Chains A and B, each alone.
Chain A
Amino acid sequence: MTWAMLQEAWRAMGANRMRTFLTMLGMVIGVGAVVLMMAVGQGAQYRVNQSITSMGSNLFILLSGSTTAGGLRTGSGGVNTLTVADANAIAELPGVQAVAPLHPGGAQVVYGPNNWSTQVYGTTPDYLEVRSWPVAKGYAFSDSDVRSATRVALLGQTVAKNLFGDEDPVGKTIRIKQSPFTVVGILAVKGQSLDGRDQDDTIMIPLTTAQRKVFGTQFQGAVRLVMIQAASQDVMPRVERSINELLRQRHHIREGADDDFTLRNLTALADSAAEMTRIMSLLLGAIASVSLVVGGIGIMNIMLVSVTERTREIGIRLAIGARQGNILLQFLLEALMISILGCLIGLLLGVGGAVLVNVITGMTVIISGSSVLVAFAVAGGIGIFFGYYPARKAARLDPIEALRYQ
């Protein structure tokens, strides 16, 4: 019986091909738009998540704070109030996984005829762990390099390309602010940060080398910032509190006085960025869904016309023994078939459009199984929802009235 009804639905659709096609078009465009928007939205979300992962997980950044000198207040990091000793103390706190003090500065670097201005980070090997940043070639400098302040450098990909071109930099000597450094390794590609900076445009050298031989410090062991990685997301609030307490105590800050440091939760920032993209992709999907609803109304419209046109046919069917349920099912199946078929075509177009967007703009697009499933479920739902009223109208026709209809 169901098979016979499906055949009939198919036949009815074929009887007026142009009309069926145009009705379907609403569904096609709706589903296509939803699939495409979801693909773009999920692609953006994926990119943001990538950036978050590249930043490292469960991170705090500790900046030296401002001071007031003669009524003039400096900004964050305006003076160096943090030291390596602070960093070491923080490393001892429970829940802290790794700590990397940083002493950065801008510098002109030279290799042979090439030169390049970049950010030079004096740090410890822990920094690579905190940022989950592997070495692509050569090796990282070690704690003993930090202890003895050796002149070794790790190059970011951008720096390596600009100074060396196709040449292999490992083992070569570059000059940072006139001092010679041996390149011991190349960092893996990291890509853009959340705020769009090129993270590969960097050089890393041992912290002590930066402090003593390149940038100098205001006092012994001063660092500009410290990166801290918590053991897990759950312990982050506790770690944040204990770092605050520890530093206030170490810096002898009186009750009620301002901190001379700033502690920021980077993961929270990243999470809010991720949340924003999620909302954006939801919004895109919601806007596209409007066209689905419009498509559904188109189906309802045409089904109503179809019921009127086929009043006599309905009368005949009722006269030879069709129950109301049979007629209802017949028209519902027809509406469902139009919407599901439209959904299939829309899916193909949406996927095609997403691929095209990817090829033309290079944007990341992701078509997930769940979005395909959702598209089908929504199309089915729309078919039933908007098909039900016309189908019920058909089923409730009075057989005699219907038979008399010309």
Chain B
Amino acid sequence: MAQAGQVIRVEHLYKAYVTPVGPFPVLKDVNLTVAAGEFVAVMGPSGSGKSTFMNILGCLDRASEGHYLLAGRSVEERSPDELAALRNRTIGFVFQGFNLLPRMSLQDNVALPLVYAGVELDERRRRARELLDRVGLGKYAESLPNRISGGQQQRVAIARALVNKPALILADEPTGNLDSHTSHEIMALFDELNSEGITIVLVTHEQDIAQHAKRQVRFLDGQIVHDGPTEVAA
């Protein structure tokens, strides 16, 4: 069923939250296929289900019904540990609030996924350093996160997402806490990563951020109402 080159394949996905007054549907029959190397912006108003969708894509949450194939393999039957391994190696997360651990140096933050992947200390240091250099923050390797700006923190978070060489980067409002200048710097970084072949799925509600993506998917009331290539703004 899975075709080569498909990173994400979602079929008839339903998700309902259990509430005291009965199930509350959030996603209704969502279908989406993302090929390797794509750059997709997921848009939609708050409450439209896009965050829930991202959590399912990120193996943080499970769908109520439907199929989700990540890199050609079904996710539904995986054990919690297998899901953790997927989050560790196949997916890189970038959050709106950066989510760096405040008591760790930037280098240790970037290297943390490698700890859970069982990589040796020297190799962890080398790779973390390499990625910090790449996002231009090598000289702050030993600093704590609160010593650098928000834009710089987001770069560190991207470096952390990249450290296990994932096939897919999931970014949930990565520029939501940043000013427009810094936002575009971060988006330039995403553009660069995408040009290197990394698949990116990014949630945003800002049109000019979504312009960086090559394809836009729009959610409304738990359903995809628009899916098509980005129209170049006039």
- Report the minimum CB–CB distance from B99 to chain A (whole Å): 5
Task: Tell me whether B93 is interfacial, beta carbon within 8 Å.
Answer: yes
Cβ A320 vs Cβ B93 within 8 A: yes
Chain B CB within 8 A of A269 CB:
no
A321 within 8 A of B: yes
Is the Cβ of B103 less than 8 Å from the Cβ of A320? no
Q: Is the CB of B113 within 8 A of A321?
A: yes
Inter-chain contacts of A324 with B (CB < 8 A): 80-81, 84
In the complex the two chains form, what is the Cα distance from A49 to B183 in whole Å? 82
* Distance from B78 Cβ to chain A, minimum over Cβ atoms (Å): 12
Q: Map CB proximity to A onto B107-131 as digits: 1 under 8 Å, 0 otherwise.
A: 0000011011110010010000000
Chain A residues near B113: list those with CB within 8 A.
Answer: 320-321
Nearest-Cβ distance from residue A11 to partner chain B, whole angstroms: 6
Q: Would you call A325 an interface residue if the criterion is a C-beta within 8 Å of the partner chain's C-beta atoms?
A: yes
Size of interface on B: residues with Cβ below 8 Å to A: 27
B58 interface residue per 8 A CB criterion: yes
Contacts of A321 in B (CB 8 A): 84-85, 87-89, 113, 116-117, 164
| Contacting pair A325 B81 (CB below 8 A) | yes
Q: Is A3 an interface residue (CB 8 A)?
A: yes
Candidate in B80, B85, B104, B164 with the most chain A CB atoms within 10 angstroms: B80
Instruction: Please indicate the chain A residues that have their CB under 8 angstroms from the CB of B99 in the complex.
Output: 312, 316, 319, 403
Q: Is B195 an interface residue (CB 8 A)?
A: no
By beta carbon, the residue of chain B nearest A12 is: B103
| 51-109 of chain B: CB within 8 A of chain A | 55, 58, 60-61, 80-81, 84-85, 87-89, 93, 95, 99, 101, 103-104
A188-B99 Cα distance, complex, nearest whole Å: 79
Are A322 and B116 CB-contacts (below 8 A) given A3-B121, A400-B61? yes
Q: Most chain-B Cβ atoms within 10 A of its Cβ — which of A312, A318, A324, A399?
A: A399
The answer to whether the Cβ of A317 comes within 8 Å of any Cβ in the partner chain is yes
Contacts of A320 in B (CB 8 A): 87-88, 93, 112-113, 116, 160
- Closest residue of chain A to B81 (Cβ to Cβ) is A323
CA distance A263 to B117 in the complex (A): 78
Contact with B along A14-41 (1 / 0, CB 8 A): 0100000000000000000000000000
B residues less than 8 Å from A403 (CB atoms): 60, 95, 99
Judge if A360 is at the interface, Cβ distance under 8 Å: no
Within 8 A of B (CB), among A284-324: 312-313, 316-324
Closest residue of B by beta carbon distance from A395:
B80
Contact indicator A319/B93 (Cβ below 8 Å): yes
Main secondary structure of the interface of A (DSSP, over half): helix
- B116 close to A319 (CB less than 8 A): no
Decide: A323 near B84, CB < 8 A? Known: A317-B112, A400-B61.
yes
Q: Within the assembled complex, what's the spacing in Å between the Cα atoms of A322 and B88? A: 7
**Given the complex of chains A and B, what is the CA–CA distance between A93 and B80 in angstroms?**
80
Select from chain A the residue with minimum beta-carbon distance to B99. A316
Report B86 CB to chain A, min CB distance, Å: 8
Q: How many Å lie between the Cα of A318 and that of B80 in the bound state?
A: 10
B80 to chain A, nearest CB (A): 6
Q: A185-228 toward B: CB 8 Å interface, digit per residue (1/0)?
A: 00000000000000000000000000000000000000000000
Which residues of A are found within 8 Å of B55, using beta-carbon distances? 400
Residues of chain A in range 352-406 having any CB-CB distance to chain B below 8 Å:
399-400, 403
Select which of B58, B85, B93, B101 is within 8 A of A313 by beta carbon. Answer: B101
CB-based contact B101/A318 at 8 Å:
no
Q: Is A4 an interface residue (CB 8 A)?
A: yes
Cα A240 to Cα B101 with chains together (Å): 79
Residues in B204-218 with C-beta less than 8 Å from chain A: none
B60: A residues at CB distance < 8 A: 318-319, 399-400, 403
Q: Which residues of A contact B121 (CB under 8 A)?
A: 3-4
Q: Collect the chain A residues with CB atoms within 8 Å of residue B80's CB.
A: 323-324
CA distance A3 to B121 in the complex (A): 9
- Complex Cα–Cα for A1 and B117 (A): 9
- List, in ascending order, chain A residues with CB within 8 A of B89's CB: 321
Complex CA–CA separation, A399 to B87 (angstroms): 11
Q: List chain A residues, Cβ under 8 A from B101.
A: 313, 316-317
Quote the shortest CB–CB distance from A261 to chain B (angstroms).
81
Most buried by B among A1, A317, A320, A403: A320
Q: Give Cα A4–Cα B124 distance, bound, in whole angstroms.
A: 11
B97 CB → nearest A CB, Å: 9
Interface residues of A (CB under 8 A from B): 1, 3-5, 11-12, 15, 312-313, 316-326, 399-400, 403
Residues in chain B within 8 A of chain A (CB atoms): 55, 58, 60-61, 80-81, 84-85, 87-89, 93, 95, 99, 101, 103-104, 112-113, 115-118, 121, 124, 160, 164
9 additional A-B pairs beyond A319-B95, A321-B117, beta carbons within 8 Å, are: A4-B121, A317-B101, A320-B88, A320-B112, A321-B87, A321-B164, A325-B81, A399-B60, A403-B99
Listed by A's residue number, 11 A-B pairs whose Cβ atoms lie within 8 Å are A4-B121, A5-B115, A12-B103, A312-B99, A316-B101, A318-B60, A318-B87, A319-B87, A319-B95, A320-B87, A320-B93
The 3 closest A-B pairs by CB, nearest first: A321-B88, A323-B84, A321-B116
